[in-house]
Amino acid sequence: MMPRSMGHRAGMKALKEVVKACVEIGIPILTVFAFSTENWKRPLEEVNYLMRLLVEYLHKEIEELNNNNICINILGDYSSLPQECRLGIEEALAVTSRNSGLVFNIALNYGSRKEILRAVKIMAGKIMSGEIEQENISEETFSDFLFTKGLPDPDLLIRTAGEMRISNFLLWQIAYAELWFTDCLWPDFSRDEFFRAIWEYQQRDRRFGGINGDGQDEEYV
């Protein structure tokens, strides 16, 4: 029966535990959905609180993130966020830019459909200017115009709170990601729950449209 703001604050603690767990077991890339383009529809008071919470998180955690060799990366257009948020983000990006450990992607003011439309418009402009030949466009070419340029596609997508939808998140990138759903609410999401998701992921046979994980029939391997 607490206000929603308390849930967001508890979620920040859960995020810290997940980041620590990733560093501990050597996961190279973590992407979290912090604020979507649709979240602007929420009450103004809640949106303002989320913005303040973002600034607080960056100020409090930037030193520890940097000391753990974590590189922060932003997916989405943060130019329209309040100035204090933009300054905090730019500082975090600058401080951690040379780190070579965990790539910590924060999807902020992000929506996958808008990301794809943005990529199409940029690519169309380059086709018109002659920088790209239309017949040379490939999946790899298109991926280079997304916010995730240079990053591999996700292996595992975790969805909490019993929700059974993707919610406009990395629609292009998760084409072959393994999906894992849990009823656990994000503020209650612990490292044990995180490790359970990874363990279950490790039990799956990832075939990528082929057979036996490598595109060959097991009978002939």
Paired tokens of 2 = 């607490």
Neighbours of 112 (CB within 10 A): 23
- pLDDT of 7: 84
Residue spans of alpha helices (H) in the chain? 4-25, 44-67, 83-96, 112-128, 139-143, 191-202
What whole-number distance in Å separates Cα of residue 138 and Cα of residue 103? Answer: 26
Of the candidates 90, 93, 8, which has an alpha carbon nearest to the alpha carbon of residue 52? 8
User: Phi/psi of residue 36, each to 5°?
Assistant: -95, 165
Concatenate the DSSP letters of all residues of 64-76 into one string.
HHHHTT-EEEEES
Phi, psi of 82 (to 5 degrees): -55, 150
Q: What whole-number distance in Å separates Cα of residue 109 and Cα of residue 139?
A: 25
Q: What pLDDT is attached to residue 213? A: 54
To which H or E segment does residue 213 belong?
none
Please give the Cα distance from 7 to 105 (Å, whole number).
22
- The pLDDT score that the predictor gives to residue 115 is 98
Low pLDDT (below 50) residues in the chain: 217-221
pTM for the whole structure: 0.91
CB-based burial label for 102 (10 Å; 0-12, 13-18, 19+): buried
pLDDT of residue 3: 73
What domains appear along the chain, each with residue ranges and CATH number?
A: 4-201 (3.40.1180.10)
For residue 217, the model assigns a pLDDT of 43
10 Å Cβ neighbour count for 179? 12
Instruction: State percent of the chain over pLDDT 90.
Output: 88
